[in-house]
Structure 1
Amino acid sequence: MSANDACVIVGASLAGAKAAQALREEGFDGPLVLIGDESERPYERPPLSKGYLMDKDGREQIYVHRPRWYAEHNVDMRLGTAVTAIEPAAREVTLADGNRVGYGKLLLTTGSSPRRLPVPGADLERVLYLRRVEDSDRIKRAFRSATRAVVIGAGWIGLETAAAARAAGVEVTVLERAELPLLRVLGREVAQVFADLHRGHGVDLRFGVRVTEIIGSGGAADGVRLSDGTRVDADVVIVGVGITPNTGLAREAGLEVDDGIRVDERLRTSYPDIYAAGDVANAFHPLLGKHIRVEHWANALHQPQTAARAMLGRHDAVYDRVPYFFTDQYDLGMEYAGYVEPGGYDQVVFRGDVAGRAFIAFWLAGNRVRAAMNVNIWDVNDQLQALVRTARPVDVDTLTDPQVPLESLLP
C-alpha cells in the first residue's frame, strides 16, 4: 500500500491509542502510524492526580495497552518523535528530524498543555505542574520530603493534588482567585460542598487571592507572595491554573482554530481528510446544538471511535455522547453528566443527603435537566445521562424525592 492509504495519528495519548485500536477493530488493514513526542507508550492521565499519585496504582496500570499490542496490530508507533508541520496539500507531516510521513487520513490527538503562571519566580525549582507521568513522579517525590505545599488553583487538578498531599501527611494551602473552588464549573451551591470537604481534611483554603510572585532561595521555591503582601511558606508549589489546547500545528497548517481545533459532529476539521479528537477538539455537539471542547477523560476515551469510523467513511459516525467526568477526593467520589455554562441554568436542586455527601445534584433550566452529578451514590449515572439526553420537563418535587426511582422519570 502507498502512503496515500495510510492513517496517521499525531499524539500518542489515550485518544491516539484508542483511535489506533478503533481503526483496526473497524477493519482498517492499511499502514497505521502513531506518532508521539513522549517517550512513554500511551497512558491514561486521570491516575496521575489520583491513584498513581497516591501510590495506590502501579505504573503498569496507567497504560492503555500492553507493550506488545502495537506490534501485534501492526501499528508503527514512533515515540519521542515530534511533528513539526502538517502539509495538507502534500498530505504529509514533517518530523523534527526532517523526515516526512505521508497520509491518506490524518487524526490530531495533540491534547493540551498546562497553563503557565505568569509571575516572577515561576521558573524556580520545586514549582511543579501536572500533565505527564514524569510530572506525577516529581510531585510524589516532593510529597515524601515536603512538610508544606502550596497549590495555586482550586480546579480539578488543584483539588486532587491537594487531597493526595494530605494523604501523604503534607500541610496544604490552596490559593484561588475565585470565591469558591470549581465555581465556574459547578456554581456556588455545589462548589461549597468541595470547599467544606477540603476544610474538613485540614486544607487551608484561601479564596479571592492573587499570586504576584513565587519566592525562593538557592534557585528553589520556598514560598508564595500574594497581592496584599502576605507570604505563604512552602516546600513545594504546585500550579493548576488550567490547560491550553495544543493547536499550534493545526493553526500553522491553516486549519480553523477557535478554542481548540474546530471540528464538526464527525470530528472532521476544516480540511478534507484531517480529523481531531480529545482535549484539542472543539466539536459540534448535536445534542447541545453548538461547539464545545471538553477537557476530560471520557472524550479522549470515546471520541476516537467516532473519528476512526468517520476516517473510514462510515456515514453514521457522529459523536453525540453526553459529556462526562469524575473525581475522587478523600472519601468523596462523584460522576458528572451533562454540560452547563455559567449562567446556563435556573436552579440547582438536590436529592439525598448533601451534608452527609451522599446525594445527586441537578442543574435545571426551564425544568429540564441540563446536568447531574451523583456523589457517593453509584450505578445511577446511566439514568442521569438519559435524563440529560431526553431534555423533557420534570417535576422538581418528584426529581428530588429519593423514594421515586430515577427510571420512572424517563420516557
Structure 2
Amino acid sequence: MRSPRSVVVAGAGAAGVAAAETLRREGYAGSLVLLGAEPALPYDRPPLSKQVLTGAWEPGRTVLRDADHYAGLDVRLVRGRAAGLDVGRALVRVEGAPDLPFDALVIATGLRPRRLPEGRDLAGVHVLRDRPDALALRADLETARAAGLRAVVVGAGFLGLEVAASARSMGLEVTVADPLPVPMMRQVGPRVGAAVAALHRDRGVDLRMGAGVQEMVAADGRVTAVTLSDGTTVPAGVVLVAVGAEPAVEWLRGSGVPLGDGVECDEHCRAAPGIYAAGDVASWLNPRYGRRMRLEHRMNATDQGAAAAHNLLHGDVRPFAPLPYFWSDQYDVKIQAHGVFPEESDVTIEEGSVEDGRFVALYRSGGELTGVLGWNLPARVLPYRKRLLER
C-alpha cells in the first residue's frame, strides 16, 4: 500500500491528537496537519465540568500536549473551523483560511451541544462543550452565588449531574430538572439511577424528575426563572442546558461522505476511500457486538483515533472492537462502567451495597452478562471486565 503524502486530521480534541501521534509513532513521514476550531492548544474536556468549573484548575492545566510536542512531531497546527469537504478535489474547506489538500483524512470534529428553543438568546443560559463555555458558566455561577441566586440544570445525564455537583461544591443552591423518572436513566437504568438520585438529594440538590422545561422567564434579557412542565416555576440566576449533543457533521453535508448518527464507518473506522473517522463523531460497526455504535466517551476517543490512524496507514488491517468504558465523578463518588447497558437489563448488586455507598452492579440481558458498573469500588470491577473481554 502506498503511504499518503499528506494527511489532514480535522478536529483537535483527544481523538484528533491520538490520530496524529499514532501516525508519527507508526512511521508516517509525510505532511501532517491538525485542524482545530479553537485558538488554544488542544485540551482535555472532562475537567471542564469539574476542576475548571469550580476554579480548582486553571484552564491551561487541561492542555493535552505543549506546543513543542507538536513541533517535535512535525505536526502543523492550523486554527480554523472545518467548513466543507470536497472529496473529488481532496480539499477540506476552512472557515476564514485557505483550503487544506489531503491524500488521506481523519474526521474527528466531535459534537455540538443541543440547545432549547426556550431561552436560546437569554443571558445566563449556558451550554457546556468547550473551554470558553466553562469559563463563561463559572463566571455566572460565581455571580449567582454572590447574589444568593439558584442554579438550574436542565438535563440529568452525566454532564448535568457533574455540573450540579460542582455548583453545590461552590456553595450554590441547585435544582436539576429532567423528563425521565430517575437521573442517568439512559446510561445506567432505573436501579442505579435511583442511587444517583439519592446521592444528589443527600447533598442538597432539588431534583425535579419527570419535569421538562416549559418556559424560561426573563427580565431585561436575562433569565430569572424556569417554568417546568409540571406547572412549577423555579427561580434561577444561571441555567445550564445539558440535554445531549449532536455529531458535528454539518460541514460534511453534500460531500458524499455517508452520514447518519454521525459519520458512518465500517469496522476499520473507514467512511470512504482514504477517509476515516474517530471519536464522538464516528458511527462504526463494532465487531464485538455486531452492530453500529457511536460512543461519546473520553477513552473511546483516544482509542479510536489511534485505530483509525493505524488502519489509514497500514490498510484496514485491524477491526476496531472495543469494550465500551465510561466514568463519572460526582462529589466523592467515582462511577466506572464497562460494557453495554440495554434498557431491559436485569441488574444485580454483586458486591457491596447501595446503602454503604460502595458496590458493583452487574447487567445481564437474556441471561448474558453485558456490563459491569462500579460505585467507589474500582479494583473490584476489573475481574468482571475481564469476563466481558473474554466473551
TM-score range, shorter chain: over 0.9
Q: Which residue of 1 aligns with 2:189?
A: 187
Instruction: Output one character per residue of 1:183-215: Cα deviation in whole Å (capped at 9) or x when no partner.
Output: 122111110010000000000001111211111
Instruction: Specify the SS of the correspondent of 1:68.
Output: helix
Q: Which residue of 2 aligns with 1:18?
A: 18
Instruction: Output one character per residue of 1:50-87: Cα deviation in whole Å (capped at 9) or x when no partner.
Output: 222222333232111012211121111012x1222111
Q: Which residue of 1 aligns with 2:88?
A: 89
Equivalences, count: 385
**What is the percentage of aligned positions where both structures have the same residue?**
36
| 2:364 is the counterpart of 1:358 | no
Q: Which residue of 1 aligns with 2:130?
A: 132
Correspondence for 2:200 among 198, 202, 205? 198
Letter in 2 for 1:40: A
Instruction: Output one character per residue of 1:212-264: Cα deviation in whole Å (capped at 9) or x when no partner.
Output: 11111111111111234321101101110000111122332111111111111
Letter in 2 for 1:191: G
Report the alpha carbon displacement of residue 314 of structure 1 after superposing the two structures with TM.
Answer: 4.7
Q: Which residue of 2 aligns with 1:408?
A: none
Report the alpha carbon displacement of residue 384 of structure 1 after superposing the two structures with TM.
Answer: 2.8
Structure 1 stretch displaced more, 289-298 or 58-67: 58-67
Q: Which residue of 1 aligns with 2:6?
A: 6
Report the RMSD for the aligned CA atoms in angstroms.
1.6
Report the alpha carbon displacement of residue 315 of structure 1 after superposing the two structures with TM.
Answer: 4.4
Instruction: Specify the SS of the correspondent of 1:21.
Output: helix
Query: 1:132, 1:378 → 2: CA distance?
Result: 28
Instruction: Specify the SS of the correspondent of 2:77.
Output: strand
Q: Which residue of 2 aligns with 1:294?
A: 295
Instruction: Output one character per residue of 1:323-381: Cα deviation in whole Å (capped at 9) or x when no partner.
Output: 011011111112110112322x2344432121111010110123321011111112344
Counting only pairs closer than 5 Å after superposition, residues 12-411 of structure 1 correspond to structure 2 as 12-79=12-79, 81-97=80-96, 99-119=98-118, 121-146=119-144, 147-269=149-271, 271-343=272-344, 345-391=345-391
Q: Contact 1:85–1:249 (CA<8 Å) still a contact in 2?
A: yes
In structure 2, the CA distance between the partners of 1:98 and 1:327, relative to structure 1 (3 Å rule), is closer
Report the alpha carbon displacement of residue 98 of structure 1 after superposing the two structures with TM.
Answer: 5.9
Unpaired stretches in structure 2, ≥5 consecutive residues: none
Q: Contact 1:358–1:375 (CA<8 Å) still a contact in 2?
A: yes
Instruction: Specify the SS of the correspondent of 2:121.
Output: coil
Structure 1 stretch displaced more, 229-238 or 150-159: 229-238
Q: Contact 2:347–2:361 (CA<8 Å) still a contact in 1?
A: no
Query: 2:207, 2:128 → 1: CA distance?
Result: 20
TM-score (norm 2): 0.95
Unpaired stretches in structure 1, ≥5 consecutive residues: 392-411
